Structure 1
């Protein structure tokens, strides 16, 4: 799919200690405790917030447990990440923002009546996140949240959060069937893509954020697990076929916590349909030619070229069966993540998670996937992080040693036995 890059980041260390990796988690989550969002809301929303918070029942056990403060306790978080070998993180949302029924990553699209309050809640989260990132300068790239219902408001928030110091880009909401907003391939969103390209703001699309509501029956929950990553993948082909990257060549898309083994097969599929439809459009009018009409002109480059030039994957806890695909995915595209503080994350066994994935992989390649690529995409300063890694980072020799036994208590799918390549 892509040739090995000649300028792929290496494991350079500013302090002259080349025996440890600088690990940046490209997938972590945080948020304020519910009532701590109040000071970040405009005062005109305080009364409504008080009424909402008084009756809200949090549906998430992990946000009610004694470990919930890992989401907002800056010192605890730094300590636990350092103990896990991680010196910096990309911070996605986790806790419930004001006026939302659930975490915003999974919340349904707002009705018109809910819209103003939901926007106020997301702005409050973004303000809180800017302060949270400022508490650990250079070590957190916060991902700002937007809604798609009003594109002009979204662009305004993108510019404001960039100025406020959030360097993780934006979280692109899903547009599942029935959401009431245009599909992601729509040119309606061009002002958003233009602002992100202009400002160098990555567009992040996180797994689990694009599935339609399915209900609570056991079958529905199983179907959700089967389909959720597919619905998240849709953003990739929507933006490619929609021509967003032709109109905005500086746009960067990051697909996070959706795995990575599916990418080669999906890109082969997209190339196939692109070539087939473009070819059909150049022939006499047939049923199929109409499907490809105008596609070549609107898209510009083919899918694999777009992937090569504009796309990245927050592969999270990369699994052993995915690693041999790294050249087909693109070594310069892959960013490892611990998914802290989620139960399915690798904490506190991230070193073991790195070993089970990367033992036997050349050192410069590991360095790129566990930190160098994320530094480049999100603007982390390795000169600041390398001295921290010299103290806290995992040793190169340690990660090179195959993991013989999964730690007791490890809950991450990174340690699941077996596994095959996902092709969709």
Structure 2
């Protein structure tokens, strides 16, 4: 057994530089793209900075991740794809023509991502994008992306209030769950794409911080109560960068309502029986059982106060992530972040949470990755040592005041 951990980040981000998407667009969109790109102004400061090429510079990316002790990554999108004004899945299109162009833009991103993953064989699992306004097109893109080798699975958009989309519990999405279950494609729901617009008042930022993860959590109970896992028992859901400490309490709450509604459905002529009618058969197993059978958490830079909950969450369910190249990520202090969270945690549990579980969910080959980790991975002894003071210039919330409180 090696004395180093094989670290796989289950939460990284990448995308092409804007003009580099052009070759991946269907030719019939090239003129429209040229006109759009000529006037487009990127709203994201980090995509205009000198470090923006971390999103697409394959060699730089590999070097920096290895220097940080990471040998493989699950790659979520980050840059703006063609015909989108901003973040791809948070920008409702006003017309059918806009939807068509944005679909073309997402397909271009997915094609680019397949090539980007191929540039580092076995070390990147790309997460492809879809829109939910046309389920038939989404199903086609799932099949196309899977055939292209994008092992990271599907990025499930949110359905925030006001989006005009059916809620995620709707049977309208059943063909999507069916194809993902059939092909073994993980369904990922990343924080940030499910919140409704909140306006520009100063309080909006604080409200967003309070509510954004809750809106992302909704995917769990929508799919559970909608019966997606009952109808498609091979379906896998991954909730990424939404924290993990909330999971035990929410599962208890969902179990309570599940049991209450099932029981109410058996009682005729009661007020609650109306709420339970038709649900008992549709929902299937209790939410906590569904979690054990079908769900995972991309816990990203897991905070120390969350670690004592790992048995209640499921050690086999937790996947750590660095969030590279975001400022809130742990780079270049991933080793310190791992020490801060996992010091004194048993070695086999650490190995599962920071690499083994991600390898299992996303299909990474540990026979390929372990020899690389033997050269660049953090040592078991190193991670076992409590951190003490965090690096003075660390920007990740993993090191934030209060994040190190332990509840043993």
Please indicate the TM-score interval, normalised by the length of the shorter structure. over 0.9
- TM-score where L is the length of structure 1: 0.94
SS, match of residue 125 in structure 2: strand
Listed as ranges, the matches of 1:92-241 within 5 Å are 92-108=76-92, 111-241=95-225
Shift of 1:107: 2.8
SS, match of residue 173 in structure 2: helix
| Aligned partner of 1:342 among 307, 326, 335 | 326
SS, match of residue 130 in structure 1: helix
Separation in structure 2 between the aligned mates of residue 299 and residue 112 of structure 1, nearest angstrom? 34
CA contact (8 A) 1:93 1:105 kept: no
SS, match of residue 62 in structure 2: helix
- TM-score where L is the length of structure 2: 0.98
SS, match of residue 239 in structure 2: strand
Measured at CA, do residues 68 and 120 of structure 1 come closer, stay the same or move farther in structure 2, by a change above 3 Å? Answer: same
Shift of 1:419: 4.3
CA contact (8 A) 2:340 2:404 kept: no
Separation in structure 2 between the aligned mates of residue 78 and residue 108 of structure 1, nearest angstrom? 34
SS, match of residue 127 in structure 1: helix
CA contact (8 A) 1:133 1:142 kept: yes
SS, match of residue 90 in structure 2: coil
Separation in structure 2 between the aligned mates of residue 99 and residue 113 of structure 1, nearest angstrom? 11
Separation in structure 2 between the aligned mates of residue 203 and residue 221 of structure 1, nearest angstrom? 28
Q: Report what 2:282 is aligned to.
A: 298
Measured at CA, do residues 357 and 105 of structure 1 come closer, stay the same or move farther in structure 2, by a change above 3 Å? Answer: farther
Separation in structure 2 between the aligned mates of residue 224 and residue 360 of structure 1, nearest angstrom? 35
Structure 1 window deviating more from structure 2 (245-254 vs 292-301): it is: 292-301
Q: Report what 2:267 is aligned to.
A: 283
Note the alpha carbon deviations across 1:74-127, whole angstroms, 9 max, x for none: 000000000000000000000000000102143335542310000000000000
Question: How many residue pairs were aligned?
Answer: 405
Separation in structure 2 between the aligned mates of residue 393 and residue 362 of structure 1, nearest angstrom? 17
Q: Report what 1:262 is aligned to.
A: 246
Q: Report what 1:319 is aligned to.
A: 303
Q: Report what 1:9 is aligned to.
A: none
CA RMSD of aligned residues (A): 1.1
Separation in structure 2 between the aligned mates of residue 246 and residue 268 of structure 1, nearest angstrom? 19
Separation in structure 1 between the aligned mates of residue 206 and residue 89 of structure 2, nearest angstrom? 19
Structure 1: state its 5+ residue gaps: 1-15
Separation in structure 2 between the aligned mates of residue 345 and residue 309 of structure 1, nearest angstrom? 29
SS, match of residue 376 in structure 1: helix
Structure 1 window deviating more from structure 2 (308-317 vs 106-115): it is: 106-115
Shift of 1:420: 9.4
Q: Report what 2:369 is aligned to.
A: 385
Q: Report what 1:25 is aligned to.
A: 9
Q: Report what 1:58 is aligned to.
A: 42
Q: Which has the higher contact order (CA 8 A, sep 6+)?
A: 1
Structure 2: state its 5+ residue gaps: none
Structure 1 window deviating more from structure 2 (100-109 vs 204-213): it is: 100-109
SS, match of residue 70 in structure 2: coil
Note the alpha carbon deviations across 1:308-359, whole angstroms, 9 max, x for none: 0000000000000000000000010000000000000000000000000000
SS, match of residue 88 in structure 2: coil
CA contact (8 A) 1:100 1:118 kept: yes
Separation in structure 2 between the aligned mates of residue 303 and residue 126 of structure 1, nearest angstrom? 33
Note the alpha carbon deviations across 1:271-319, whole angstroms, 9 max, x for none: 0111111111111222211111111100111101100000000000000
Q: Report what 1:362 is aligned to.
A: 346
Separation in structure 2 between the aligned mates of residue 420 and residue 136 of structure 1, nearest angstrom? 35
SS, match of residue 275 in structure 1: helix
Q: Report what 1:248 is aligned to.
A: 232
Separation in structure 2 between the aligned mates of residue 299 and residue 314 of structure 1, nearest angstrom? 24
Separation in structure 2 between the aligned mates of residue 330 and residue 322 of structure 1, nearest angstrom? 12
